[in-house]
Amino acid sequence: MHLAQDIETHLHAGDAADTVTLDYEARFLRRKRLVSDGGEAFLVELAETRSINQGEGFRLDDGRVIAVMAAPEPLLAVRHDNLVRIAWHVGNRHTPCQVESDRILIREDSVLQAMLEQLGAQVNRVTAPFTPEGGAYGHGRTHGHDHGEHDHALQGH
């Protein structure tokens, strides 16, 4: 079984020997056995847990690259005449979201759905690849982030 310890972040057409299709949760990993869409098993062993984005790839120990694709998954499509206001409410809850020109996609969440509907949003269930925004401070999702005794503006991150 091949080993992948490096991530290629800027793939071009033709760079990948194969693809692996993963949902949002499965793209957050450090060490995991995966099977490519072509049927090849490989082991990912990264230095630290990180979020892998669609369009990035795993560099195998033989030099080949397996490109990452976002799998379709159940989501909520949120629409509203004032989408900026809705985006503020979603962001205020630190909810991963995919911002598009006419809608915001979020993972299914009945509590958040009820709140958004109460704000007048039209919320529909859809199935689509989920590729949320990475975050304002340049880091994607983490296991947790406590704002306890520091301030991002003072810390520079």
DSSP string, 47-60: EEEEEPPTT-EEEE
- Confidence band of 147 (pLDDT split at 50, 70, 90): very low
pTM metric for this prediction:
0.79
Domain 72-129 has CATH 3.30.70.790: yes
Structure tokens at 29: 């990993």
pLDDT for the residue numbered 145: 40
pLDDT for the residue numbered 71: 98
> Over 50: is that where the pLDDT of 157 sits?
no
Sequence ranges of the domains in the chain: 2-70, 72-129
Inter-residue contact 75 to 128 (CB < 8 Å):
yes
pLDDT for the residue numbered 136: 56
Please report, rounded to a whole number, the percentage of residues in the chain having pLDDT higher than 70. Answer: 85
Using DSSP's 3-state secondary structure scheme, residue 63 falls into coil
For β-strands 41-51 and 2-8, DSSP reports them as parallel
In tens, the pLDDT along 44-87 reads 999 999 999 999 999 999 999 999 999 999 999 999 999 999 99
Q: Which CATH superfamily is domain 2-70 in?
A: Urease metallochaperone UreE, N-terminal domain (2.60.260.20)
Scored b (16 or more CB within 10 A) or e, 22-50 reads bebebbbbeeeebebeeebebbbebeeeb
